[in-house]
Amino acid sequence: MIKDFEIVAQGIVFLLNEWEPKLLSLPMHVITGQRNKQNRTIKQIVGHMIDSASNNTHRVVHLQNQESLLQYPNYASHGNNDRWIEIQKYQFEDWYNLVQLWKFSNLHYAYIIGFIGPETIQHEWNAGDGKYITLNDMVIDYLRHLKLHLTEIDELIHTE
């Protein structure tokens, strides 16, 4: 396993183990009532993290399966991620099921990055708007992104 990716995978697993019981212990009014700066509830933030794990999983597979430059839609640009959240109705999803989907989507992502070979880490994804991201940079940034959203959730928990 690439050493930096091992650190990312271990960080993901650590956060899942830390946060799963926290999330499951939250009262319903906290997970559905409090809203962050983007007007998202905790349920919607968790849903967004599921979308992120899913989309990043697909990018990792595609970036290894074809020559660079990957043309793959960026679900997070131009407000699309909010439309994804609305279309999937995360606000109404069963909380236990949502947390489990978040956990297992991320466990799978942590698992697959362990098999990325060094020959593909410089393959690039066209993220749109003239932005190109290497597989290496995408994987390394994932842990920061996960922590960002968990920090948002923590802030909402403590504003009750």
0.85 cut: is pTM over it? yes
Whether 34 has a pLDDT exceeding 70, the answer reads yes
**CA dist., res. 11 & res. 88, Å (int):** 27
Which residues span the domain enclosing 92?
3-157
**Residue 79 amino acid letter:** G
Phi, psi of 132 (to 5 degrees): -120, 130
The residues, any chain, with a CB within 8 Å of residue 140's CB and separated by 6 or more, are: 4, 5, 8
- pLDDT, position 1: 84
**Structural domain tally of the chain?**
1
CATH number at residue 104: 1.20.120.450
Q: What is the pLDDT of residues 119-128, one digit of tens each?
A: 999 999 999 8
**CA dist., res. 135 & res. 127, Å (int):** 12
**CA dist., res. 12 & res. 144, Å (int):** 10
Whether 9 has a pLDDT exceeding 70, the answer reads yes
Residue 46 CB burial class (10 angstroms; 0-12, 13-18, ≥19): buried
Q: What six digits make up the tokens of 91?
A: 């606000």
Whether 79 has a pLDDT exceeding 80, the answer reads no
- pLDDT, position 55: 95
Q: What is the pLDDT of residues 101-154, one digit of tens each?
A: 999 999 999 999 999 999 999 999 999 889 999 999 999 999 999 999 999 999
